[in-house]
Chain A
Amino acid sequence: MYQFQNEGLIDWAGPLLQGALVTLEIAVLAYAIGLLLGLLGALAKLSRVWPLRLVAAGYTTVIRAVPELLLIILLYYAGSQALNALLRSLGMDGAVDISGFVAAIAVLAVVQGAYMTEVFRGAILAIPRGQLEAAQAFGMPPWLCFRRIVLPAMLPNALPGLSNLWLILIKDTALVSVVGFEELFFTTQQAAASTRAYFTFYAAAGALYLAITLASNVLFRRAEALVRRGQATG
């Protein structure tokens, strides 16, 4: 018993770093899916088909008005129930461990997608119309126009919003600890409870998150310089 009390930050450094790695994993995957959802959402919002616009508007309004923690709990229950039913129907009962990971990513991606929809919509609307009309006049099919004109022209507009969303996502990953998913904050809580050194461990977790966000800031600044190359510096 006495030995357990002697555990400190050093003994938990491994699990904490492991947790930080899991946090980064789910963040990167959720971000990638969120980007896709955001692009689809923005295209739906800007489309001529009104049912698409309606669905996209409902998606962004509801997701952005309901607290993230509430959404995560709600979607986590609903999502893992659906996933388990699916796996059972496929005869794969053993894959329960995976479902927690998948559900965590799915929930975060759905939330991110709603905010990204707004970022992409604004960025696409900010492209000068003449560029799109010129592309059409050249006879570019829609997909080629999207790939060659819309995407490169809107990225500089979208990147500040996207970098902001990445930082929000890193901080939101802590919320999936509430539904018992083992990432950085969940491991921290276990470590703090087991060593009773609450102050130390929460400060350490804070430092790890801060390191991730500060490093992300540097990377996003580089990315912004990259997509803005060729633009006049003002």
Chain B
Amino acid sequence: MDFSWLANPSYLAYLWQGFVNTLILVALSGTAGFVLAVGVALAQIVGPRPLRWLARGYTTVIRGTPLLVQLFFFYDGVGRLLPLIPGVRESFLWPVLRDAFFYGVLAFTLSVGAYVGEVLRGALASVPVGELSAARAFGLSGVQVLWRIWLPRAIQICLPTLTGEVILLLKSVPLVSTIAVMDLLKAANLVRDETFLVYEPLLLVAGIYLALTLVLTTGMRALEVRFPGVKPGRV
């Protein structure tokens, strides 16, 4: 094992950038994906029939195909068709649409939306109807019931599962290295190409992920304990 390359500032810069990008990717697509998931879950429970079918179809397709295929579908498939639309190249969005990072966030957001949407659908459906009726009886509007009672109760029910989903999201981040986004795996690959060390950079990144997972699990566990009425999950 030869870790002397860690003294080289340019390799450390790769790793740092990969680390920061990983966190940004998780934060962005985790947040956007959660918002999408709430919409997808609600569409399947209270939405009109066409919307229900749309949500069901979206969930089935995303959960039935590999994330890697989705990533390439958006980056190579959709991404190469976009410049053909007149005006896209000149639009202010072009710098974003040209960036592989955007497609990573897009694919991950859609993925989180589908997987977490399924989790939330089950949780929303298992909130006792009496609580919702009670809220209505107190004169809360439909939106207020959702915001104050239904959604918080559902999150309370599925929080341990959500922890698992966050970890799954973190663990899918290395996929973006295949579309040339600088993440930890991409950094390890660059170090390998320049130093011809195969195992050391990969093992270091594996160690970083091990630590990140540990921090995330402990953090979410602390959250679960503080959240009233949640039984902390077994990890």
A positions within 8 Å CB-CB of B: 62, 65-71, 73-74, 77-78, 167, 170-175, 177-178, 185, 188-189, 192, 198-203, 205-206, 209-210, 213-214
Contacts and interface: CB of A to CB of B under 8 A. Distances in A.
Nearest to A122: B234
B161 interface: no
A216 to B, nearest CB: 9
B163 to A, nearest CB: 13
Nearest to A196: B80
Contact of A185 (B68, B199, B205): B68
A199 B77 contact: yes
Interface stretch (B129-137, B152-160, B171-179): B171-179
B202 interface: yes
B69 interface: yes
A192 B80 CA distance: 12
B178 A74 contact: no
Interface in B66-109: 66-70, 72-73, 76-78, 80-81
Contacts of A206: 61, 65, 69-70, 73
B213 interface: yes
Contacts of B206: 66, 70-71, 74
A77 B203 CA distance: 12
A86 B47 CA distance: 60
A65 B173 CA distance: 13
B66 A174 contact: yes
A210 B64 contact: yes
B214 to A, nearest CB: 7
A201 B174 CA distance: 23
10 contacts: A74-B203, A74-B206, A78-B199, A173-B66, A175-B66, A199-B77, A206-B69, A209-B64, A213-B64, A214-B60
- Report whether over half of chain B's contact residues are helix, strand or loop; otherwise say mixed: helix
Contacts of A209: 64-66, 69
A201 B69 CA distance: 10
Interface residues of B, number: 37
Contacts of A185: 66, 68-69
B115 to A, nearest CB: 11
Contacts of B171: 66-68
A171 B66 contact: yes
Contacts of B213: 65-66
B81 A174 contact: no
B198 interface: yes
B14 interface: no
B209 interface: yes
A189 B174 CA distance: 19
Contact of B198 (A70, A77, A177, A203): A77
B172 A192 contact: no
Nearest to B216: A65
B119 interface: no
Contact of A66 (B68, B80, B210): B210
A78 B78 CA distance: 36
B109 to A, nearest CB: 17
Contacts of B55: none
Contacts of A70: 174, 185, 202, 205-206, 209
Nearest to A74: B202
Given A70-B205, A199-B73, A199-B78, 13 more contacts: A65-B213, A66-B171, A66-B210, A67-B171, A68-B171, A70-B202, A70-B209, A77-B198, A167-B63, A167-B64, A172-B66, A175-B68, A188-B69
A203 B66 contact: no
Tell which of A173, A178, A202 has the most Cβ of chain B within 10 Å.
A202
Given A65-B209, A65-B213, A67-B172, A210 B76 contact: no
A67 B203 contact: no
Nearest to B175: A69
B25 to A, nearest CB: 13
A69 B185 contact: yes
A17 to B, nearest CB: 16
Nearest to B171: A67
A65 B205 contact: no
A205 B71 CA distance: 12
Contact of B69 (A74, A200, A205): A205
Nearest to A214: B64
A172 to B, nearest CB: 7
